Amino acid sequence: MSTITVTTWSLEQTSPADLLPAAAPEGDVRVLRAEVPSPEFSRFLYASVGGDIRWTDRLPWTYARWEEHLGRPGVETWVAYDRGTPAGYVELEAQDAGAVEIVYFGLLPAFRGRRIGGHLLSYGTARAWDLAERWPGLAPTERVWLHTCSLDGEHAMANYRRRGFRLFDTKVEQEPGAAAPGPWPGA
């Protein structure tokens, strides 16, 4: 099997003042929290956003594994809707020592390049900074971080930098060169 070289960059903000919000896109774009944990909906978002950019780590998850993950305190899914249609999402996960990871962020292919991503990332990052306000018992957020890689969308890194994220680590690894799975089997 062939391999490909993948570069992974880790970025962070260490203060809410680091966030440089994007302007809201034109039109009826709303960002709402998916307050009811739904493995079906979360898997739909994961596979639809990541299908063409090799998001594969959660594809084998069982329904029970999705339920367990989504039910953890400090895990939130925020969804951007364009005129009522899911356009993308950001998943937050509280971690130790006041850290919040933006575990997944992205747009469905049909919604890329329409200025929704900057707005969704801004909104999701702000929600990471105030996560403890919605989850009693969590430590206040002191750091928001994420990672992106060379397989992600061509504008991902620029969007993160424009929102005020700073690079703190870079790794280069060889990964299997399998084709992206698409949003559903056979796509």
Q: What is the pLDDT along the chain (187 residues), one digit of tens a residue?
A: 789 899 999 999 999 999 999 999 999 999 999 999 999 999 999 999 998 888 889 999 999 999 999 999 999 999 999 999 999 999 999 999 999 999 999 999 999 989 999 999 999 999 999 999 999 999 999 999 999 999 888 889 999 999 999 999 999 999 887 666 666 554 4
Question: Is 55 domain-assigned?
Answer: yes
CATH number of the domain where residue 148 is located: 3.40.630.30
Question: Is 168 domain-assigned?
Answer: yes
Say how many domains are in the chain: 1
Question: Is 183 domain-assigned?
Answer: no
Q: Give, in degrees to the nearest 5, the angle at Cα 96 between 105 and 104.
A: 10
Rounded to two decimals, what is the model's pTM?
Answer: 0.93
* H-assigned helices in the chain: 39-50, 63-70, 116-129, 131-134, 156-162
Question: Is 182 domain-assigned?
Answer: no
Question: Is 187 domain-assigned?
Answer: no
Domain encompassing residue 171: 3-176
Question: Is 58 domain-assigned?
Answer: yes
